[in-house]
Amino acid sequence: MHWRRLIVLGLAALAWGALAPSPAAAQVSGQPILEVDDASGDDAPAGTYEIGGYLGLRGGGRVTPGGVSLGGTFLYRVASGIWSDSSVGVTLAGTEPGCFLERDGERFCDHGVFGGSGLSARSGIRLFFAENRGVTPYARTGIGFEYIAFGDDGLDGVAIPIYLGAGVRAPVDDRVSVGGAALVQAGVAFFDQQIGTEPYVSLSIMATVEFDLD
């Protein structure tokens, strides 16, 4: 299977989704297309663009990579309290062989919680809620695309997961916020070498930092 073509197409599709919103497209005759009640109050992020980064641990297993996870985020304000949320990242860990042949000749893989590597992109939405005691909570959801590799087994493939996450953040100053987040991903992974289609599930815990660009 031509994984490189799939990777390029997947990342291009997610990048288009991340960059599609624009100030010109978000307004008609000077009025926002999407208007919602401000669920996040006066303490909601008031800018238009933000960038950030994250660092944490991710648990996988079987054919889902797990290990140190790091990457960057890009946020675009769609409406009050609603943001476009896109990210790219990598997962890195040492790996040991975890694939073997069963008696019937089928290949089976069962890697540990931390192992393998991945290159991922995600695109979705983030909802900010009312600030409480200096901390602003949020929820996020969307779809992802990941290239997966287990080098010691010569195994690679691609995954398409849905993700759900939640986090909190607090301002350090007018333009910088720090916080923490958790992210669950579940979907389907596709491999060659007699593996075929496999379930894909992971849990990530991350420290975050985000910068207001306005």
Which pLDDT does position 12 carry in this prediction?
A: 47
CATH of the domain at 40: 2.40.160.20
How far, in Å, CA of 110 to CA of 114, rounded? 11
Which pLDDT does position 46 carry in this prediction?
A: 58
Which pLDDT does position 23 carry in this prediction?
A: 42
Which pLDDT does position 53 carry in this prediction?
A: 98
Residue 44 belongs to domain spanning = 3-212
**DSSP 8-state assignment for residue 175:** S
Q: Which residues is 120 bridged to in the sheet?
A: 89, 146
Which pLDDT does position 45 carry in this prediction?
A: 57
**DSSP 8-state assignment for residue 13:** H
The SS3 call for residue 177 is strand
Which pLDDT does position 25 carry in this prediction?
A: 37
Which pLDDT does position 26 carry in this prediction?
A: 40
pTM exceeds 0.85: no
| DSSP track, 83-150 | EEEEEEEEEE------EEE-TTS-EEE-B-SSB-EEEEEEEEEEEE---BTTBEEEEEEEEEEEEEEE
Write the CB contacts of 78 (distance below 8 Å, at least 6 apart in sequence).
21, 26, 34, 84, 125
> Per the structure, how many domains does the chain have?
1
How far, in Å, CA of 177 to CA of 46, rounded? 13
Question: For residue 152, how many C-alpha atoms fall within 13 Å in the half-sphere facing its CB?
Answer: 14
Write the CB contacts of 76 (distance below 8 Å, at least 6 apart in sequence).
18, 21, 48, 49, 83, 84
How far, in Å, CA of 131 to CA of 128, rounded? 9
Answer yes or no: are the C-beta atoms of 156 and 148 closer than 8 Å: yes
Low-confidence ranges of the chain (pLDDT < 70): 1-47, 105, 193
Which pLDDT does position 32 carry in this prediction?
A: 40
Write the CB contacts of 126 (distance below 8 Å, at least 6 apart in sequence).
75, 82, 83, 84, 85, 138, 139, 140
